[in-house]
Structure 1
Amino acid sequence: MGRDTEDDDNVGSRAELLPEEQVVGSDDPEAQARAILAESEERTEHPEETRLESVQTPDPGTG
């Protein structure tokens, strides 16, 4: 499976709105899915950079 096909499959899967997203709706679920997946990929590829930006990740010196 090629990268583009895999990306399209991931976007298609993520574009299916979660229950809480269905409540508020989405003007463009595919664009929303692409943005979410791109941000996730960025965090995965550069954890040291995004760790410092995250309010959900404890400081490296704690815990």
Structure 2
Amino acid sequence: MAEGAGNTAGHKRQRYQTALGSAREVLACVQVAQAMRYIGPVHAKVLDRMDHVIATLGRLVYRRAS
């Protein structure tokens, strides 16, 4: 979220969108690493926090312009 916070106007939304893509990519990497048994189970609180970050970024990117 810090990626977008320091920017203004249209650039802010672009940076939040970049951060959203990166957050989704991290979650996908964790899921693939688990599926391939490179890592063990990830604590539910960690996955919940990742979902929270993704949801927050999604609201910042896709909110209606007022």
Specify if TM > 0.5.
Answer: no
Which of the pair is proportionally richer in helix?
2
What TM-score does the superposition give when structure 2 sets the normalisation length? 0.33
Larger Rg: 1
What TM-score does the superposition give when structure 1 sets the normalisation length? 0.34
Pick 1 or 2: higher relative contact order, CA cutoff 8 A, min separation 6.
Answer: 2
